[in-house]
Amino acid sequence: MPTLRYDVLGIGNAIVDVLARADDAFLAKQGMNKGGMALIDGPRAEAIYEAMGPAVEISGGSAANTIVGVASLGARGAFVGKVKDDEFGRTFAHDIRAAGVEFATPPASTGPATARCYIMVTPDGERTMNTFLGAAQDLHPNDIDADAIAAAHITYLEGYLWDPPHAKEAFLKAAKIAHGAGRRVALTLSDAFCVDRYRAEFLDLIRNGTVDIVFANERELHSLYETADFDTAVNAIRTDARLAAVTRSEKGCLVVTREQTDAVRAEPIEKIVDATGAGDLFAAGFLVGIARGLDQRNCARLGAIAAAEVIQHMGARPETSLKELANAAGFSL
C-alpha cells in the first residue's frame, strides 16, 4: 500500500461564493427554489448579480469547504478542482492553500471563467444557490493524480460533480484508483435537486460499492428513495450502503450501517446565521474521525461540532480553529 500522505482528498467544483442576504419575496421574484441549487449560464449569473444586494465574496465549493474543514481540524487535506487563470481563480487557489490544503490542479488558460455560486441567505439562515460552473466543468480525468489518490486515506467526492460529463469520468477514475490502493471512497449527495437529476446513477454507485460512505440530509434521502416517509428511506439506505450519515439539522444525525442505526444529537448553538456549508463541515468532522480511527458515534460528534461552528456566521468555511473546539469537547486531535 502506498505511503499515506493525506487523511482526506476531495474532488469537486472549485467555486467562489458570492453571498447576499435576501427575503422570500426576492427568491419568488427571481424564480428561485428556496433551499435548492440551480445551474445557470453566464447571462443569468450577471442578471442575478445585478439584482442582489450587497455581497461578500468567499471561496467555496462543497468538497473544497469540506477539505478546508479537514485542515482546520488539524488533519492533512488535498483538493482537486479546476479554475481558470483569472482573478477569481487566483483568489480560490490562494484561499485554499492559505487554509493549509494542498491544491495542485493546473488552472485553465483558456475557456470559461472560474465558477461562481450566487447564494441568497434568507433570515431563517436557509441558503438558495445559483451556480455558474464555468471552468469547473473542465475538470478532466487527466487532472486526477493516481499517486495522490492512492496516498489518501479517504477520497471524498461531491454529487455536484455528476453535472459536468468529464468530471463524472474523473470521479469514477479516482474511485477505482482509491479502491485499487485499498483506500475508502466517500460521496455526498450534495442537493435534493442534484439527486433528482441523477437518482438512478447515485443508487448504482452506492449499491455496486463504488462508494463506501454516503452523506445525505433528510431532503436528499427522501429524494433518493422517492418517499416522504423517513423510516422507509433510512431502511432503504441501510440495505444499499455500507455506511451512511444522515444529517437532520437541529435534530442531529443518524449513523446507519447494515447492523445498526445510531442517533447523535446536534451541538447547541446560540443563533443560526447562515446554513451554507453545514453539511460540508459535518462531513469534514466525520471523515477526520474515520481517518483517526474513532468509533462512528464520535465521528458524528466531531461532525456536529464542525457544522455548529460554520452555521453561526456567514460563509461556508470555519472562522474558528475546529481543532481547538474539538479538543475543548474532549477529543485529542
d(CA 178, CA 165): 20
The 3-state DSSP class for residue 207 equals helix
Q: Do residues 86 and 114 lie in contact, with contact meaning Cβ atoms separated by under 8 Å?
A: yes
Region at 331 (left for phi over 0; alpha for psi -120 to 50; beta for the rest): beta
pLDDT at 304: 98
d(CA 78, CA 71): 9
Rounded to two decimals, what is the model's pTM?
A: 0.92
Query: In this structure, what C-alpha cell is assigned to residue 232?
Result: 422507509
pLDDT at 276: 79
Tens digits of residue pLDDT in 110-123: 999 999 999 999 99
Q: Could you say which residues of the chain have pLDDT below 50?
A: none
Tens digits of residue pLDDT in 9-28: 999 999 998 999 999 999 99
pLDDT at 329: 95
pLDDT at 2: 77
pLDDT at 315: 81
Tens digits of residue pLDDT in 57-78: 889 899 999 999 999 999 999 9
pLDDT at 26: 97
pLDDT at 324: 97
Length of the chain: 333
| CATH code assigned to 6-13+61-111+135-328 | 3.40.1190.20
pLDDT at 241: 98
Burial of 284 (0-12, 13-18, 19+ CB in 10 A): buried
